[in-house]
């Protein structure tokens, strides 16, 4: 399951990032790593970006990026 498929308020563990080195580096700089727990806290209007909480920080991720983050609901 990917991050964009989760419902709002759902906790999940990041399993892997299905992308190249650039995407992995950018997500790593935002604090998103495999093994972390992430929560979808909201969505933008008209299928806009996802708002996620990780390590006490709220981050907006585009749907294309969220589609590349493989998660397991917990």
The predicted pLDDT at position 47 comes to: 80
pTM above 0.85, yes or no: yes
The predicted pLDDT at position 45 comes to: 75
The predicted pLDDT at position 12 comes to: 96
Q: How many domains does the chain have?
A: 1
Q: Residue 16's domain spans which residues?
A: 3-73
Domain holding 39: CATH number? 2.30.30.90
Q: Report CA 10 to chain centroid distance, whole Å.
A: 11
Which pLDDT tens digit goes with each residue over 17-66?
999 999 999 999 999 999 999 999 998 778 889 999 999 999 999 999 99
């Amino acid at each position: 399951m990917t991050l964009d498929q989760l419902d709002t308020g759902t906790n999940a563990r990041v399993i892997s990032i299905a992308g190249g080195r650039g995407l992995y580096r950018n997500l790593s700089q935002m604090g998103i790593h495999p093994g972390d727990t992430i929560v979808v806290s909201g969505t933008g209007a008209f299928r806009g970006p996802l708002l996620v909480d990780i390590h006490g920080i709220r981050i907006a991720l585009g749907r294309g990026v969220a589609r590349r983050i493989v998660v397991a609901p917990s």
